[in-house]
Each structure stands twice: as structure tokens, then as C-alpha cells.
Structure 1
Amino acid sequence: MVQRTGGAARSAAAVAMVLGLAATGCGGGEGSGSPEIRYSWWGNAERAELMREAIALFEEEHPDIAVTPTFSEYDTYWEKLSTQVAGGGMPDVLQMDNAYLREYSDRGVLLDLEAHEQNLDTSGLLEGLSTAGVVDGARYGVPVGGNTFSLVYAPELFEEAGAPMPEDGWTWEDYDEALTAVSEHTGGDPYGASDYTGLIWVLEAKLRQEGDALFTDGGKLGFGEDRLAEFWESAAGLREDGAVVPADEAEQVKPLAPLGANLSASEFTWDNMLTRYVEESDLDLELAPLPTDSGDSGQYLKPSMLLSASAQTSNPGAAAKLVDFMINDPRVAEIFGGNRGIPATEAQREAIDYTEVDQAIVDYEEDRMSDLQEAPPAPPAGAGALETEFIRLSEEVHHGQMSPDEAAGEFADFAERTLSS
């Protein structure tokens, strides 16, 4: 509530301050002989204001380095970056999404930060994030924060319905029984769950629990058409019985997710999304472990975002120092709190005075840490397009416009074209 007060004025002020900082950075570069680096990220004006404070601290620590900041909304950010890469005008330091890391590293436009370890200390990264950003033995990114795939649910509704409660080792049959019981208890207001077969990350979790993977080490699909068709078919009974949110109702509340729109009592998502759902939903929500039929959780720590540097930067040492400061300095964590996800280093995690929701996420991750598995390699180039196509075909199946077999065949053809291009 406090953060939303005076939103328009605060946003305008943040933009003005960032622009002012940019002007300052531009004035301290070539003329003085000091290195000047450009730093670009995605986010809104609130994040820009926080970033301004962090950059000001960095420049106090490194008065010989001037930082020129720029930011954009997520989609615009990637459009700009594509143009900058093509034109040779990449920022020196840039925010990176794990889904795009291999795409840009394969193009040779990212700096191997391992070669600048004298200016960048990654020893404080959480164990589960220590290899995040590493591609083929080279470090092209450093995680800023991390999260793990989880179940968000309304425990009170589960208890009222007499449904099986989430616990270590509960099975997918237990979960299906639970969401069915909730839907019957509430009469579908809300439904027991969102249709989880619309999420490629649920498929990944199940594959990992079975000892398989979403992608092979060679960057191809780690599963076949039959396995995908089986996955989509697995929730057919739940859809027919009205145990999960119907596709047309889920469509009507977009861009909200069914859980945020009070249509669902549970939903699989990344644990940092708890913050958003608590704000949107009228339900009291908690995090729970994933169901499993093998005893393996399938869960791992995934970087919420990373920092990378341009291979063409004329100041690689200064760029590495900025990355180091942003992931290690406790004061940066104090400024951002959970804005960029729960920090990836111990020093920053310990420095934050967490909100109640962020503390719940931290406690959940600490509780699950012993069950987390090794993270998969960075996904192949084209993974983002595959996720978009997966969502489209899932909706076709959920609306009854395609059979699981037809959709699986179309997805396999799309993956063959995308991953081989």
C-alpha cells in the first residue's frame, strides 16, 4: 500500500532523476580520461529510482568510473538490444534473462566475465546458483536473484474441503484429489486449481522428476511427442469434471492469472510470484512443495535475472566492477529489497529487512534447499519462442480445438524448425 502512494508523481520523479544521472554520467567520460560505462536494464520507473540510488553508491566507491543508465519495459528492452547488437552499440553492462543468455553468448557479443575475476567475486553465490550464467565453461552472466518453481495455494480452502494437504513426497494423484475436493466444496468459486498442463514449467518439473529434461545437452527437446501428448491428456478428466478453471474463464481475466483473479485456489509458478498474487488475490496464500511420483522434487534455483557485459566494451574492468558491486554490496540489497527477486548472494540476502511476503519466500527456499536439484544448463536459443508456442497449443487443447496428439505433433515440428535454425 505504501509503495503505491503517489505512484504517478513518484514515477515522473524517478524518470527525471535517472535522466539527470545519465546527463551526469555523459559529462564525466572521455574528457576527463575516466572510464564511462553504459548500464541498461528492464523495469519500471520505481526500479529506475532504486537503481539510481545504487549507481550513486557505486560512483562514490569508484569516483573514477562514470555510469550512464538507461531502462525500458521488458518487450521494448529486447527490441532495443537487438538493434544495438546489430549496430554495434551495445551497453557495457546489461540485464540478461536466462532464456536469452545462450542466444546472445552464441552470437559472441557477451564478455566472458571469468577473465576479469580480479574485479568480480562470484564466490558468495548460493550453491544452487553458482553455475548460473555459465555456458560451455565461460561465464557470460552473473545471477542477481533466484527463485524456484513451486505451488502457491490457499491452505484454508484445502482444509475446509478435507483435501490432501501439501507435504514432502505428496503425489500428483494427491494433488488431483485435492483440487477436485476443493472445486466440489466451493462449487467452482473458486476452482481447485488452474489447468497446470498449460505451463511448460510443470512439464519440465515432471520430466526432471522422471530423470529426464526439457532440453538435451545438445540443445534439442528432451522428450518426444508421445510424452507431450500424455502430459496434455493427463488433465482431461479434471477439465471434464470442472475441477480446474475452464479455458474460456481463464481467457476472460487475462492479463491476470486465474489465481490472481480469484478463480483458482492453487497454481504452479515461480516462488517470487507469491508477492504479486498476495496483492491481487482475496485469498490467504502460502508456498508448498511440488507433488512427485518419484521422490525427487524436480525443483532447482533459477536465476530471476542476470547481469552480463558486452564483448565490445572498451572498459571491461570497470564493467566487471559494476557487476560485482550490484551482486555483492549489502547496501544494494538494502535499496532493492525483493524488487529484483531474492538476492543470489548470501551477503545480500542477510542485508535485507524483508517484507512479510518476501520473508515467506526466503523461508520457503531455505526449507527446500536440501531437496533442490542441480540446475539445467542455460536453455538453447529459441527457447522463448518454444514457450510461447507451447502456451498457444495448450490453449487449443484446453478449448477442445485440437487433440493432445495433434498439438504435440505441431509442437514437435515447430521445435525442429526453431532449434535447428
Structure 2
Amino acid sequence: MRKKRWTWTASAAAALVLAGCGTAAQGGSSGSQAGQAAGNADSKPVVTLTFGFWGDAKEEAVTLAAVKAFEKAYPNIHIQTEFGGPFNQYFTKLSTEVAGGNAPDIMQMDYDYIEAYAKEGQLLNLKGAKGINLSTISPSVLKSGYIDGGLYGIPNAIDCYSMIYDQNAFAKAGYHGQRVSWGQWAAILEKVHKLTGKWAEDDDENWQTFGYWARQQGQHLYNASGTKLGFAQSTLVSYLNYWANLRREGAVPPGTVTSLIKQAADPTDPMVPGKSLAEMTWDAYIVSFQSEMTKPLGMALPPYQPGGPEGLYLKPSQFWSIYSKTKYPQQAELFVNFLLNNVSAGKALGLDRGIPVSSTVRAALQKAGLSRPEQQEFTLTDQALKVATPIDPPPPQQDKEIDQDFANMVQAVQYGKETAQQGAQQFMQEANDLLQNGGE
């Protein structure tokens, strides 16, 4: 039986905190098959579609605005929204709904999950769907939604990894958004901390960021077949030591703080109230962060590894997928097409989830004018497109559990219960056992 060494961390973290130890025209559908589908749908009685999505409060608000625009355009279709809250909470709920055979008709889907849901037969194959106009989407972007020849999700936006930071605080340390190495970034963080007395960056020590680190070593989270981990133990140890050094310097917060963060730009995120001054995350969060903060934020490409390959890649922010058991596939396609291609919907959704994939919507947003953080997001995406390398294949089904084990291991190292070497060795043994034997 697979042994877990880090299950103590959640309760231990809570105990430490309690003890005080922690400091409007339809885009592209006129005269097309999508338009014909719309006409047919309009002639039917009112139907109700359920729509599940995750996000923060801002993402909920803009999504509801897009839903309202759709219902105004198509009063015969009612959208019953199911806001799932933060990412992990949403997928916990979705897995329960899928198991019970009552998943939402339309669901927001993530790159890390789409392959598993598609192979389990839970998603509708949208290849050749008559109700969705795909001509506005770049084939290279659309490619990410294909699994074994079927199209199981339509990317709604593209995203890239970025560094979001307090512009004024980092300017004092001589940093103005230039791309720097990991070593240079650590020195900048230490200088910002000394100048401000604050944590210079959140401790962004997670499975996702480690994947970016590994790519810069010519390695990956998983091998090509997804049957074992794709990186060396020394790569993980070097990553853990990098953050441990920053914690010792006080440049990033302790585990008692980072273990409580639920989502970027969430009230639990120390960057929102200004307790920390930078965060490595997806570029779309610049909009949410700036809406919660008064100080101007900067945005830059994340650190690079000197002499190593480029680790940066563009990722579909999310997909719009349709439940394979929906009773109303035609109306569901119509709604997805609206979210993707309708200019009113595009203006309502904005850039909170990333840069829209529809060329029609992108042009309309730029013509209408962008806010400062939105323009920053557009600019960074342009920079990323010049250097980005292909995204890794979707992870294996065990990725969610491995991600959680990684978070638990990181907390154990943060609290001094394991050395970086011990934590890395045990984590890799358990992850490979899970991938190869199901943990038995």
C-alpha cells in the first residue's frame, strides 16, 4: 500500500496559524451553419442549460454579464449558472457531478483535466460541430483541444506565465520589467525586501512553477507516455533549495502564510493587501490584481535559466466543453459559439481569463480601447509569442493527486520536517509508484 508522509501538513498548518506562529452582432455566424443553427434554436420552446465555471468574484461577475447578453439575444434559452468558486473547489464538485451523471451542459474545462474527462466519455466531440464557428481561431491554438482526433474543448483564451509585481517598489531596486535569470531575480527580491521590509514575492513554490523550472533544464513533469516523472531528483532539489534560500532571507513568506492561499488575487493572497510585492502566475491575473489594488503593477516574462532551453509556453486559459449527456447539444453549441465569437460577450468577459482566441473579438476589444492592465496583458502575450516553445501534452490522470502530494511535500520542507533531499526523494518514489502501479 502506498504510504503518504505529508498528510499532517493541513492540520499542522492550521494549528500553527491558530497558535500565532505565522506572520453585439454574432461574430462570424451570419449566413453560416452556425447562423442556421441559431435560427433553428430560436424556433424551439424555452429550454434550460446548466453552465459550470470557476474563478474569483470578478470572473463570476463578467461571466454573468455575458450570460445576460446571451439570454437577451436568445430569450428561448435560459442559462442556469453554477459558479464553482476557486479552481480546486470547482473540479472537486465537477467530479462528483460527473460521477452522478448530472454534470453541467456546458462546463469550463482546464488543460490539465481535459484528456481524462474526454477519455472517460464525459465530453461531447465538437469536431464538425455546426453550431460553432471556428474560422476565427488559429489552428495552432485550436489544436490544444484535440484528444485522439476528437475536439473536446474550444480554447476561450490564451495565457502565459508571467511575473506580476509592484512597479514602484521594484523600481527602487532598479528593476523595470526586463527579463532576468533566476539568480538575478533572487538578488532583486532580496534587495526589494531590504528596501521595503516586506516579502518581495509570494513563495510561488508549486507543481506548476516547478514544471516551468524543469523545462528550462530540458526536462518535463512527465515522460512522453505519462507513465513516470520526466525530471531528475537533482532538478527538484535545486528548485526546493532556491525557495528555501529566499525564505531564510525573508524575501518570501513562510509556509504558515502560503499554505492558506486559495487562489491568485484572492483575499488570502498576501499580494492583494500589499504584504508581498510580486507573484509568478498566469498573465490574465493582472486584471484581477489591479482591480483590487491601488498601486500600479508591472508585468514581465518570468526568469530564465542561463544556457538552458526556453521554458515559456502559451497555454489555453480554459476550454468551453459540452457534456456528452446533454439533452440540448444544439443549444449548447449556440451558447459556446456566443461566448467565443460574440463581440458583446467578448466585451463583457474582457481579459480576465486571458487574451480571447477569436480574431474578431480581439480586434473589437483593441478598437474599443483597453485599460492599462489589459494592454499590459496584450503586450506580454506578444513578447511571449516570440520566444515560447510548444506546450507539453496534457498530464496523466494521476496529476491531480501528484499535484497535491507535491504541495504537501513542499509544506513539509517549509516547516523543517524534511530536508529538500528527503522530500524530493520520497515524493518522486511515491509519484512514480502511483503512475506505474496505481500506488499499490
Category of TM-score, reference length = shorter chain: 0.7 to 0.9
Cα pair 1:94 1:309 within 8 Å, conserved:
yes
- Cα distance in 2 for partners of 1:290, 1:68 equals 39
- Cα distance in 2 for partners of 1:252, 1:89 equals 31
Q: CA deviation at 1:404?
A: 0.9
- Cα distance in 2 for partners of 1:57, 1:371 equals 42
Which residue of 105, 108, 117 corresponds with 1:95?
108
Secondary structure of the residue aligned to 1:258 is coil
Secondary structure of the residue aligned to 1:237 is helix
- Cα distance in 2 for partners of 1:305, 1:91 equals 16
Q: Counterpart in 1 of 2:214?
A: 207
- Cα distance in 2 for partners of 1:382, 1:253 equals 23
Q: Counterpart in 1 of 2:69?
A: 54
Deviations 1:177-200 (A, max 9, x none): 2112222333xx22333334x122
- Cα distance in 1 for partners of 2:168, 2:292 equals 17
Which residue of 217, 228, 237 corresponds with 1:229?
237
Q: CA deviation at 1:221?
A: 2.1
Cα pair 1:154 1:283 within 8 Å, conserved:
yes
Higher helix share: 1
Amino acid at match of 2:315: K
- Cα distance in 2 for partners of 1:413, 1:250 equals 25
- Cα distance in 2 for partners of 1:50, 1:232 equals 42
Amino acid at match of 1:310: Y
Specify every segment of 5 or more residues in structure 1 that has no aligned partner in the other structure, as ranges: 1-28
- Cα distance in 1 for partners of 2:140, 2:302 equals 18
Cα pair 1:121 1:324 within 8 Å, conserved:
yes
Q: Counterpart in 2 of 1:399?
A: 415
Q: Normalization by structure 1: what TM-score?
A: 0.80
Cα pair 2:312 2:388 within 8 Å, conserved:
yes
Mean Cα displacement is larger for which, 327-336 or 44-53?
Answer: 44-53
- Cα distance in 1 for partners of 2:256, 2:212 equals 26
Secondary structure of the residue aligned to 1:263 is coil
Q: CA deviation at 1:268?
A: 0.8
Q: Counterpart in 2 of 1:121?
A: 133
Secondary structure of the residue aligned to 2:432 is helix
Asked whether 1:70 is paired with 2:81, we answer yes
Cα pair 1:331 1:351 within 8 Å, conserved:
no
Q: CA deviation at 1:390?
A: 1.8
Amino acid at match of 2:246: L
Q: Counterpart in 2 of 1:21?
A: none
Q: CA deviation at 1:146?
A: 2.2
Q: Counterpart in 2 of 1:366?
A: 382
Q: CA deviation at 1:301?
A: 1.9
Q: Counterpart in 2 of 1:8?
A: none
Cα pair 2:159 2:354 within 8 Å, conserved:
yes
Amino acid at match of 2:195: H
- Cα distance in 2 for partners of 1:204, 1:327 equals 29
Q: CA deviation at 1:58?
A: 5.0
Instruction: Call closer, same or farther: CA 1:155–1:403 in 2, change over 3 Å.
Output: same
- Cα distance in 2 for partners of 1:77, 1:267 equals 23
Q: Counterpart in 2 of 1:167?
A: 178
Amino acid at match of 1:302: K
Instruction: Call closer, same or farther: CA 1:128–1:387 in 2, change over 3 Å.
Output: farther
Q: Counterpart in 2 of 1:299?
A: 312
Q: CA deviation at 1:417?
A: 4.8
Cα pair 1:180 1:192 within 8 Å, conserved:
yes
Asked whether 1:182 is paired with 2:207, we answer no
Instruction: Call closer, same or farther: CA 1:315–1:268 in 2, change over 3 Å.
Output: same
Cα pair 1:194 1:259 within 8 Å, conserved:
yes
Q: Counterpart in 2 of 1:42?
A: 53
Q: Counterpart in 1 of 2:432?
A: 416
Q: Normalization by structure 2: what TM-score?
A: 0.77
More relative contact order, 1 or 2 (CA 8 Å, 6+ apart):
2
Q: CA deviation at 1:280?
A: 4.0
Q: Counterpart in 1 of 2:152?
A: 140
Cα pair 2:166 2:278 within 8 Å, conserved:
yes
Q: CA deviation at 1:234?
A: 2.6
Amino acid at match of 2:400: G
Matches within 5 A, 1:216-365: 216-219=223-226, 220-250=228-258, 256-281=268-293, 283-292=295-304, 293-294=306-307, 296-352=309-365, 353=368, 354-365=370-381
Q: In percent, how many aligned pairs have the same letter? A: 26
Secondary structure of the residue aligned to 1:109 is coil
Which residue of 110, 121, 125 corresponds with 2:123?
110
Q: CA deviation at 1:416?
A: 3.0
Which consecutive segments of 4 or more residues in structure 1 shift more than 6 A?
none
Q: Counterpart in 2 of 1:16?
A: none
Report how many residues are paired: 382
- Cα distance in 2 for partners of 1:308, 1:253 equals 28
Cα pair 2:212 2:312 within 8 Å, conserved:
yes
Deviations 1:283-317 (A, max 9, x none): 43211112212364422222222111122334434
Secondary structure of the residue aligned to 1:232 is helix
Secondary structure of the residue aligned to 1:268 is strand
Q: CA deviation at 1:250?
A: 4.3
Q: CA deviation at 1:240?
A: 2.5
